[in-house]
A and B are shown apart, each in its own frame.
Chain A
Amino acid sequence: MKILHITDLHIGDKNNDSDYLREGFYRDYIDGLYSKTDVQLDYLIITGDYINALDKTPNEQKFEHASTVIKYIQKKFNIPNEKTFLCIGNHDINIEKEKENKYLEARKDYSIFFPKHTKKHLASYNNIFFLYKNNNDYILTLDATYNSNGNVKPGILEVQDIDACINLLRDNNVESNSTLIIITHFPFIEISGTMSTNEEVGWDDKHLWKSAFALRKRIESLRVVEAQNTFVFFGDIHFPYQQNNNGFTYLSAGRLGTDIFKPNVSKPESLSMLPRQARIYLINKNSIDCKTASWKPISHRESPHVGEWEINNLSIKLRDTINETVETVIVESKKINVFSQNTEQRIIQVITNQNLYRFGRFNTAHDNNVSLAWVLTNKLLNIQSLLCDIVEDMKEWINSNNLIAKDTIMFGVDCWGNVIASQLSAITNIPNYCTVSRAEGKYHADDELLCSEIKVDLKNYKNVIIVTDVVATGHGTDFILKSIKTYCSSHVNFYVFSVLADENQNHFLVENYTHVTSCSKLRIPIISKDKLPSEDILPAIIAFK
């Protein structure tokens, strides 16, 4: 099953030059996205907020343009109404009418809009829940704004509503072996450990549809965990998210629309800087291959017309099926891979905003090479939510690639590498051996690199992960890899996890490693010593020798 998921179009004035989906640009924008798609899709799922309630343009006009955009997407991707499914978002209702508890009037514009893009439903309950059927797949769309009293927050589901939804599934014979796709604007599962959930005051109340937690529990009881055939698509949160829990897979994409980022001086790292996105899912038996398409500006400033779509691949494992072979992301040797584009972008923003980049002569342990840049990692990694995200990304990668804790050992290299590795160790149960690489261990006691005990133990591991903060020339990491390799068995997989590693540089000499970094886009130029003036003219700021 192949699905295109878009959400949060937030269409306002169709002539607004700053809007990605404006009249004069949406076709180029969608065409660019289409050019990155290499498969015929089965479904188009849209999880609400078609319009921007804050924009003063009359709602009918905003919905009319939203309709034009969606028709274009349907045509471009060749997905007919029969295979398009939508739900309502909090921006799509008339707040004043909702405050007066006039449910149908508050949703009048949406009720005209959505039938233009989808098929006739199989059954429904009070316009809150709609059930559709396509071959053996069932699609349930939910109104997560129902009973929100105009608070622009998730609504309140009463017991009788939950009962009605369950009966809707029961009465229409939604069998547990059929795929069930649930479409909602607000998520109804706890989302934690992300930048926004920690930094936005009252995030849970604004974005979590808590009263539907009970509905989730009830639907879970109708499903079979092992079947792994329930998929919940949601929007609203404006960042990509995936979670597999109790047989349900929860999926969200970043928003597709909204006008460009308005700088927020008080909160320069705000979420509004996250890229516009769409996601394509290829749902397999045991995993989901997820392609996240992110619109990346290619000018100095974010622009809604100078940019390109960039694809990031992710393999989402469907849990509780661990006895079967699972397809995972195959990483090419010698290429630097990135854990998460969001984290990468955030790192660059922090380095920019906090002035953490230094340019000059930084002599490395390797006689012939000089690094021309230095990043103040102390300050970078003291942004604690960022450090948590970096560690969490590494955990997700380990999980996606099925590295088993008992077969794996980490080497936290130098102080910050050790900080990251020790925190990664705590949440993965992979042991962390702290070691040193700078100046090839010249300034450390003899056994700080590898003690006799670890030299013996290394034979027992199938995977070795080197965790370090920055890879510049790569000689320090190369030194560690070679030192460790001496004591490993012949079939060990080597991985290097770094926070910063310039994708333009050639790192390491050891073969057959996989290098994944949190940020590959920051340039850390390396230059041959003989191309620089002598140190009398250009003295080194830091020397490892």
Chain B
Amino acid sequence: MMDIKIETTVTSDFEYVRLQYLIWRFNGLQSPNKLQAKAGVELANIIDNGNEMPLIINCSNVSSIANYSLEETILRINNTNRVIYFLYSIGIGEELRNLLPCFHTISINSYYKTYFDGENKKSLMKDCIITSKTDNVIDICKKSTDDEIKRIIKILSNCFKNEVNLFRLKSTPILTNGVFNARRIILKPNSFMQTCLLLNEKVSFVLNNSMPKNSRILSVSLRASAFAGVIGQLNKMYVEIVDHMGPKYKMLENSKLSFDEQGFEYIFIGDFLIGGTEMKIANTYAHFKSSIIKDAVFLASLFNPIDYSSDINISTLINERLTVINNEVEYKLNH
């Protein structure tokens, strides 16, 4: 019997959960933007789980609610003293307000936008709907987003496997005392889902609501393909997977079978960006297909992304460098 465990984040100030996480957990990725009955029931259970602190429900990327899916949730809201925040709920704001007319709506800045793009850029206005008036809405929303990013940084930091001695990486002239392996994220379903959903925020930001018809996701490695597959499902984008261009590259499927397709703008999904060799081979592959890698999104990088390439717009899920998120990490040039 499957054991579907829901992980919310509980701090001294609030409890936090992403609505899209519940949708994925209970309804898969068939309709990832639509809240359906099973996820709705679980949301109701979270409201009534015995915690008393405010509950923040991050509704980012959820755009519709199936009929009657929130029946139980509304009942529980009416019977709880908890303050419920429907954060980034612009996609379902109207439906929520119809269900509970006494909701209060506040426009707040998207903190993801600020995190990904720097404090000085203009931020998008996104709704936050709350069940009762409070003074610290913006502060608690900012805290919850900060906390989510910190959790992801911890997940990424735990990917580092330390070795005793420095060794040379297989594909680049860099010496290191260990490697970051995204397999550790994929191995834990909850970590994988949380990372994918935040990575999707980043990809949405990179796409900036414009997705040319000829855009595709490109992934060229074993571990990155797991993330790319989900990002493709969440954004209804074609995912081109090339097996593979890792340290020992050997393209197995594309040799003579798919070069007839040409003219794409790729968004490259990678895991950890160290020397950039894999991305550069992928770029050559793209050029062979009269295509370009326009954007590349990684979980994290060793150097500043801007230093890797002048013609690919490279960005990382977290702003902090690998040597910062884990102070045991050591990299140096092999010369």
Contacts and interface: CB of A to CB of B under 8 A. Distances in A.
Contacts of A265: none
B241 A419 contact: yes
Interface in A355-412: 358, 374, 376-378, 382, 384-385, 387-389, 391-392, 395, 398-399, 402-406, 412
B1 A422 contact: no
A27 to B, nearest CB: 40
A432 B192 CA distance: 10
Interface residues of A, number: 64
Contacts of A402: 1
A322 B1 CA distance: 8
Interface stretch (B128-136, B226-234, B289-297): B226-234
A422 B188 CA distance: 9
Contact of B183 (A430, A451, A542): A451
A530 to B, nearest CB: 24
Interface stretch (B47-55, B250-258, B322-330): B250-258
Contacts, number: 181
Interface in B1-22: 1-5
Interface stretch (A43-51, A108-116, A439-447, A488-496): A439-447
Contacts of B67: 190, 204, 208, 210, 213
Contacts of B239: 378, 382, 419
Contacts of A405: 2-3
Given A541-B255, A542-B253, A395 B188 contact: no
B226 A422 contact: yes
Contacts of B236: 384
The binding surface of chain B is classed by DSSP as: loop
A387 B239 CA distance: 12
Given A190-B68, A419-B241, A412 B226 contact: yes
A192 B244 contact: no
B180 interface: no
A204 B29 contact: no
Given A414-B222, A415-B222, A432 B37 contact: no
A422 B186 contact: yes
Nearest to A418: B226
Contacts of B247: 444-445
B238 interface: yes
A210 B68 contact: yes
A423 B316 CA distance: 23
Interface string A116-148: 000000000000000000000000000000000
B170 interface: yes
A444 to B, nearest CB: 6
Nearest to B6: A429
A436 interface: yes
- Which of A189, A385, A392, A422 has the most chain B CB within a 10 Å cutoff? A422
B187 interface: yes
A428 B2 contact: yes
A392 B258 CA distance: 29
Contacts of A387: 229, 233
B66 interface: yes
A518 B185 CA distance: 27
A415 B219 CA distance: 9
B249 A443 contact: yes
B117 interface: no
Contacts of A202: none
B254 to A, nearest CB: 8
B226 A378 contact: no
A444 B181 CA distance: 14
A210 B67 CA distance: 8
A429 B37 contact: no
Contact of A418 (B30, B170, B225, B240): B225
B7 to A, nearest CB: 10
A237 to B, nearest CB: 16
Contacts of B244: 415, 443-444
B25 interface: yes
A430 B192 CA distance: 12
Interface string A181-192: 000000001101
Interface string B133-148: 0000000000000000
Contacts of A213: 67-68
A192 B66 contact: yes
Contacts of B225: 415-416, 418-419
A426 B24 contact: yes
Interface in A226-280: none
A415 B30 CA distance: 20
Contacts of A208: 67
A433 interface: yes
Contacts of A15: none
B31 A198 contact: yes
A408 B244 CA distance: 28
A7 interface: no
B252 A542 contact: yes
Interface in B178-234: 181, 183, 186-189, 192-193, 219, 221-223, 225-226, 228-230, 232-233
B30 A190 contact: no
A427 B193 CA distance: 10
Contacts of A395: 2, 28
A423 B229 contact: yes
Contacts of A544: 252
Nearest to A441: B248
B246 interface: yes
Given A192-B36, A445-B170, A388 B248 contact: no
B69 interface: yes
A189 B230 CA distance: 28
- Which of B1, B4, B228 has the most chain A CB within a 10 Å cutoff? B1
Contacts of B189: 425-426, 428-432
A389 B28 CA distance: 9
Contact of B188 (A431, A436, A448): A431
Contact of B232 (A377, A384, A431): A384
B28 A427 contact: yes
A405 B188 CA distance: 12
Contacts of B223: 418, 434
Given A192-B31, A392-B30, A431-B187, A382 B252 contact: no
Given A190-B37, A399-B2, 13 more contacts: A189-B37, A190-B67, A193-B30, A402-B1, A416-B241, A419-B225, A426-B192, A429-B2, A429-B4, A442-B248, A445-B170, A542-B255, A544-B252
30 contacts: A190-B67, A190-B69, A193-B27, A198-B30, A210-B67, A213-B68, A376-B257, A382-B238, A387-B233, A389-B30, A403-B2, A405-B2, A414-B243, A415-B243, A416-B225, A419-B225, A423-B29, A428-B189, A429-B3, A429-B5, A432-B192, A434-B186, A435-B222, A443-B244, A444-B248, A445-B170, A451-B183, A541-B256, A541-B257, A542-B257
Interface of A: 189-190, 192-194, 198, 204, 208, 210, 213, 322, 358, 374, 376-378, 382, 384-385, 387-389, 391-392, 395, 398-399, 402-406, 412, 414-416, 418-419, 421-423, 425-436, 438-439, 442-445, 448, 451, 541-542, 544
Q: Top 6 A-B pairs ranked by shortest CB distance?
A: A419-B229, A443-B250, A422-B226, A415-B225, A388-B30, A190-B37
